Chain A
Amino acid sequence: MNVVDASVGVLTVPLAGEPPQERLSALQLFADIRAGLMQAHIPDRWADEVGGALWEAVTRRRLHAYEPRPVRPEEAYGWFMDLLAFADTFMHWHYRDWTPEEVWAMATVKGCSYYDAIYLVLAHKLDAVFWTADRRLYDFLKRRRQLTNPTVRWIGDYRRQPFTP
Chain B
Amino acid sequence: MAKSKWEPQPDDKELLAELDRRLASLQEGKGDWSEFWRWWDATFGIKGKGILRDFLRQKELARGWNAKRKRPKSS
Contact = CB atoms under 8 A, between A and B. Distances in A.
B53 to A, nearest CB: 8
Nearest to B41: A14
Given A88-B50, A91-B2, A35 B41 contact: no
The DSSP consensus for interface residues of chain A is: helix
Contacts of B49: 85, 88
A86 interface: yes
A47 B47 CA distance: 15
A22 B45 CA distance: 21
Nearest to B32: A66
B47 A31 contact: no
Interface bin, chain B:
20 to 34
Interface string B10-46: 0010001001100100110000011101101100111
A78 B52 CA distance: 12
B6 A89 contact: yes
Contact of B50 (A20, A24, A27, A85): A85
Contact of B8 (A14, A35, A81, A92): A35
Given A31-B23, A36-B6, A91-B2, A66 B51 contact: no
A78 B5 contact: no
Interface string A11-39: 00010000010001001100101111001
Nearest to B34: A66
A90 B6 contact: yes
Contacts of A92: 1-2
A15 to B, nearest CB: 10
A127 interface: no
B26 A39 contact: no
Given A33-B6, A89-B50, 6 more contacts: A31-B16, A31-B20, A82-B44, A85-B48, A87-B50, A97-B1
Interface of A: 14, 20, 24, 27-28, 31, 33-36, 39-41, 47, 65-66, 78, 81-82, 84-92, 97, 126
